[in-house]
Structure 1
């Protein structure tokens, strides 16, 4: 008793010391993280997590990484932390695994981490199988298959089928499970799936029944890795781990075949690997294999020594089913040694423990049934309450429906009254617009009548006198006047046609890459012929630039602006060009002409607007220019001061 208390005190002391060390390390880590930038914090925690992924403190690092990733809203590191946390709860608390799986699924889908999502869903299926929740297994398997198929991830379908095979093994359908595993393995080999995935499947098959065929496939995989210089299949499985598994299953196979020499060979290889690489394997399995080997070769004393060691380990770990198996082997060995009474006692002891385990399982199942019954009662009460609540909702709905119908009737009547009022207002607005349009049309026709008759009269009058004039210079002057009026008349008609096309949305554009320097020089050459003697036409230096636009329409807009400037500038200069800045290109035409009165600036782009009655044209040039620029994706601006001049700008995004 005294020794037991001393052992307990020692264990508690060691636990408290380890806990204190871990707490101190975490405090130091938190202090270190405070001095790091945010991105470095995540990298540091992620490295610590993967460096300690086989250490018992990795869950702490996973929690810290998840906390920091949530704070920084970083889905990548959130996904890493959640995967480690789910792996931790996989064998400890399935409900917690499912809780974190709900959080991880949208993150993995958003970041296209399909493999991690399928793996976590596979873990969930295995917990349902081991927990006996068989009614949910098939549904989860089909759900995982559907997800993997939809996302075009065949490995996910393999994971689902592998979980289904484990389910078959669990419920005793061994042949169906082996058949399904072989189908999966064949598909993996045809598709060239990764070696580690094929190893998972071979391990599942070998756990059920070690066969020469599967051992050969595992041995071939190991040799291929050695030939290619591969020492690590993934983060969790090294080539040494595969070799250890191969020798482990080989021992089981050859013991089952009663081939003692091969069994001993692989036992020796197993021991060499564990000693050479200091592998932290479960010693119970190795001792069980040595016990089986000594039983096979008839070295019963050695087998009994191992059985005594296993009895202590298994009972201390509460592995009663395994202890029953070992005691049955002890009884068999005693029988072979001719020690009948000891054999009977060992058999009786194993039978008693087996009955106790069965009884404990029975009471556990009974407790589950009682719990389920209580849950069913609560569900029944909940449904009754829901039914009463539904009745109350129906009554409330009936009363509410009457009130809603009444409100709807009032609303309909109000809507009808409002609609009549709104219809009347629209009619009034439409009438005003029609009258305004009629007025504009009349004004337009009057303007057009005046503007067209003016050049026509000049053309007709001078055409008559030019034939009677004998002086060559005078005739040339008359011909020039006729030509100018012809051009004016043609421009008036083109403006009317353009405004008509714009209104009917039939204007077409041909977009090509244009060298703006060349375009500006062409404009300068044309406009310099129209400039008066007292006005200087200036083209600013422009950077070389290529713009994708309709050359004719852009030229039309700039020519309109330059023509207006020529009309209203009698002395000084007209300067034009373009400049590129802040993602935009700005064409400009500046003059030192009459300027625009402030009260007319906001109407200068309207149709039929002229500064004075004596200005030539019908006032469509700027309206057409603005519409063309808008169609090309730009905008127009103007700034002016009466008596000092105006600046018109045409701006396009680039």
Structure 2
């Protein structure tokens, strides 16, 4: 602990020293610039900017150059500063990149800097793809192609097509993306385009599929650079960087080929490069490769140790899709080691997180749609304001033509405006209702997708494992899990059919006189068979009473309430019965279970609502019960205190 505190103090001291040194250097620079003529100031700042493009003061020099260039109205140096600032914001703040792109575009067009303009437009497209704003991507790609075609800049067209291929990969159109990349690469090779441009494209292809063909091209590029004595392809990519990429992708390729010897060879080459050139390979990527290698050669303990680290790191970084892949590999390793239960648990955890990610993604997309809807509303309001302004100008012009014409036109315009307003109001209400219905339908389908997939995943997963499991107790446990999920799926389908019938008003009711004492005893007999060991089912003494109702639907409501009480009561009792008053009859179900938080009482009758993620069922029972009670002419109430239990009441008029 003491050593750790000393180390932290040392780091803070070093940061403070570096910050003071940077501040002193900037003060010295400002003093130096005061003594220089205007033209020399720009030259000096430009030199410092490109000498320190990887330094912590890089952005400061770019801002100083931009300020001085704007003061002197020098578009050349203004363009240099803007290019550096946009490169800085490319991976940090895409909105700031677009802000400066609007300033830079007219400058680059005026000074014929088409290469730089195409480059930053390409950066912008990549940020749009990464942000998920797909509706703007195609428009920006076409804009970049039009610009490059207008100035006969073929590499600009390649940049646009490469960004389009990346977009295809992002939305799952892998074949289209690979085909487009191969077409671009062939054209580059025919024209003899620079090696660094071809390297970017090869890297994009290798990220999608490891092929010997692409590795051979990358290896050939490296060997040609060595023959020609080239050690630096551009400011960011040296020859060792290309070698590092080659060995990373090669290791991935030979893992896919299940060749442990060549996999190990390339992993060792990576270590040698790091030591020789003091390089850092991204640790997550390397850990993935070593994990696959140890799994390949049967060193499962080492693979599991890496998996433990990867799971924690991926969870901290919210990379849940990669977390799911790692957990699937863990399940596979446990299965190979003969640990069936651990394998099944890992498989189940993977599927639970997978379903949660899908649901989270859906709600994220839904939020984006809502945001876009608000933006569309604002645009509509803006257009309405513009239209109103146009009408005002038209009225002013008519007023100059004479009072009589003005009165006539105002009368006509007033009538048209009133008619249009009424039509627009009706259209707006209809549109909002349609959008609300569409959103409700989307939310319902998303919930159904999640709820059906959860038991299906368990059935499919354990059905595959049970066929290969030899231990009879484990097979029985798996069979029990499959049976429970079958019953859950069956209840879900029945509940959804009931909901559908209720909403379409096709649910039929058969009203007859019912002896409530006999009905309650029948329900007690059925429910008592489902009771857990530590919970007692009590039927209160009820007065003899004949009630005119639908026996099946009333039984369904009370059974749903009792089943819900069983889920949330682990000890104590569940009491039910009815009381008859002068003008109403009240059925009740009281339990000593978990209770319901006060802030959740209003939500318990909504669809797909479950108080915890671990509660069995799909959350439709109470919603169906309330709808049935309403159809039968009654109402439902609930009283609850968390930790003490709940009471659900069903009240009908007599």
Normalized against structure 1, the TM-score is what? 0.57
Deviation for aligned residue 1:12: 8.0
Q: What residue in structure 1 maps to residue 310 of structure 2?
A: 310
Asked whether 1:106 is paired with 2:106, we answer yes
Q: What residue in structure 1 maps to residue 200 of structure 2?
A: 200
Q: What residue in structure 1 maps to residue 362 of structure 2?
A: 362
Distance 1:65 1:382, change over 3 A: same
C-alpha distance in structure 1 between counterparts of 2:196 and 2:73, whole Å: 33
Distance 1:375 1:110, change over 3 A: closer
Deviation for aligned residue 1:13: 8.0
Deviation for aligned residue 1:114: 1.7
C-alpha distance in structure 1 between counterparts of 2:56 and 2:251, whole Å: 31
Q: What residue in structure 1 maps to residue 268 of structure 2?
A: 268
C-alpha distance in structure 2 between counterparts of 1:267 and 1:383, whole Å: 60
Deviation for aligned residue 1:15: 6.6
SS at match of 2:329: helix
C-alpha distance in structure 2 between counterparts of 1:328 and 1:56, whole Å: 41
Q: What residue in structure 1 maps to residue 323 of structure 2?
A: 323
**1:519-538 correspondence runs (5 A):** none
C-alpha distance in structure 2 between counterparts of 1:212 and 1:307, whole Å: 28
Name structure 2 gaps, 5 residues minimum.
Answer: 406-654
**1:63-142 correspondence runs (5 A):** 63-142=63-142
Deviation for aligned residue 1:265: 0.9
C-alpha distance in structure 2 between counterparts of 1:343 and 1:35, whole Å: 73
Name structure 1 gaps, 5 residues minimum.
Answer: 406-654
C-alpha distance in structure 2 between counterparts of 1:12 and 1:345, whole Å: 44
Q: Deviations over 1:520-564 (max 9, x none)?
A: xxxxxxxxxxxxxxxxxxxxxxxxxxxxxxxxxxxxxxxxxxxxx
Question: For structure 1, which segment, 29-38 or 229-238, has the greater mean C-alpha deviation from structure 2 after superposition?
Answer: 29-38
SS at match of 1:258: coil
Q: Deviations over 1:384-407 (max 9, x none)?
A: 33333322221112224669x9xx
C-alpha distance in structure 1 between counterparts of 2:401 and 2:208, whole Å: 65
Deviation for aligned residue 1:47: 3.0
SS at match of 1:292: helix
Distance 1:388 1:234, change over 3 A: same
Distance 1:142 1:379, change over 3 A: closer
Q: What residue in structure 2 maps to residue 62 of structure 1?
A: 62
Q: What residue in structure 2 maps to residue 155 of structure 1?
A: 155
Distance 1:148 1:252, change over 3 A: same
Deviation for aligned residue 1:5: 11
SS at match of 2:265: helix
Q: What residue in structure 2 maps to residue 257 of structure 1?
A: 257
Q: What residue in structure 1 maps to residue 247 of structure 2?
A: 247
Q: Deviations over 1:68-109 (max 9, x none)?
A: 222222222221211111112222222211111111112222
C-alpha distance in structure 1 between counterparts of 2:124 and 2:48, whole Å: 26
Distance 1:42 1:327, change over 3 A: farther
C-alpha distance in structure 2 between counterparts of 1:363 and 1:23, whole Å: 46
Q: What residue in structure 2 maps to residue 418 of structure 1?
A: none
C-alpha distance in structure 1 between counterparts of 2:399 and 2:12, whole Å: 68
C-alpha distance in structure 2 between counterparts of 1:297 and 1:80, whole Å: 53
C-alpha distance in structure 2 between counterparts of 1:269 and 1:211, whole Å: 19
Deviation for aligned residue 1:14: 7.5
Root-mean-square deviation over aligned CA pairs: 2.9
C-alpha distance in structure 2 between counterparts of 1:278 and 1:88, whole Å: 24
Q: What residue in structure 2 maps to residue 295 of structure 1?
A: 295
Distance 1:41 1:333, change over 3 A: farther
C-alpha distance in structure 2 between counterparts of 1:23 and 1:6, whole Å: 26
C-alpha distance in structure 2 between counterparts of 1:8 and 1:363, whole Å: 41
Q: What residue in structure 2 maps to residue 585 of structure 1?
A: none
SS at match of 2:384: helix
Distance 1:14 1:339, change over 3 A: farther
Deviation for aligned residue 1:190: 1.0
**1:490-569 correspondence runs (5 A):** none
C-alpha distance in structure 1 between counterparts of 2:362 and 2:171, whole Å: 18
C-alpha distance in structure 2 between counterparts of 1:28 and 1:321, whole Å: 50
Deviation for aligned residue 1:332: 2.0
Distance 1:355 1:382, change over 3 A: same
Q: Deviations over 1:411-450 (max 9, x none)?
A: xxxxxxxxxxxxxxxxxxxxxxxxxxxxxxxxxxxxxxxx
Q: What residue in structure 1 maps to residue 336 of structure 2?
A: 336
C-alpha distance in structure 1 between counterparts of 2:14 and 2:360, whole Å: 33
Asked whether 1:390 is paired with 2:380, we answer no
Distance 1:339 1:400, change over 3 A: farther
C-alpha distance in structure 2 between counterparts of 1:401 and 1:15, whole Å: 75
SS at match of 1:88: helix
Deviation for aligned residue 1:235: 1.6
C-alpha distance in structure 2 between counterparts of 1:81 and 1:320, whole Å: 38
Which is greater in Rg? 1
Distance 1:151 1:258, change over 3 A: same
C-alpha distance in structure 2 between counterparts of 1:292 and 1:390, whole Å: 67
Question: For structure 1, which segment, 13-22 or 185-194, has the greater mean C-alpha deviation from structure 2 after superposition?
Answer: 13-22
Normalized against structure 2, the TM-score is what? 0.57
Deviation for aligned residue 1:16: 6.5
Distance 1:319 1:54, change over 3 A: farther
Deviation for aligned residue 1:329: 1.8
C-alpha distance in structure 2 between counterparts of 1:69 and 1:217, whole Å: 44
Q: Deviations over 1:92-145 (max 9, x none)?
A: 222211111111112222222221111111111111212222222222212211
Asked whether 1:47 is paired with 2:50, we answer no
Distance 1:179 1:119, change over 3 A: same
C-alpha distance in structure 1 between counterparts of 2:188 and 2:16, whole Å: 49
C-alpha distance in structure 1 between counterparts of 2:212 and 2:296, whole Å: 20
C-alpha distance in structure 1 between counterparts of 2:80 and 2:40, whole Å: 16
C-alpha distance in structure 1 between counterparts of 2:261 and 2:401, whole Å: 88
Distance 1:26 1:204, change over 3 A: same
C-alpha distance in structure 2 between counterparts of 1:33 and 1:319, whole Å: 47
C-alpha distance in structure 1 between counterparts of 2:290 and 2:308, whole Å: 13
C-alpha distance in structure 2 between counterparts of 1:98 and 1:331, whole Å: 45
C-alpha distance in structure 2 between counterparts of 1:217 and 1:94, whole Å: 33
Question: For structure 1, which segment, 176-185 or 105-114, has the greater mean C-alpha deviation from structure 2 after superposition?
Answer: 105-114
Q: Deviations over 1:280-320 (max 9, x none)?
A: 33211111111111111111111122222223332333333
Question: For structure 1, which segment, 334-343 or 178-187, has the greater mean C-alpha deviation from structure 2 after superposition?
Answer: 334-343
SS at match of 1:54: coil
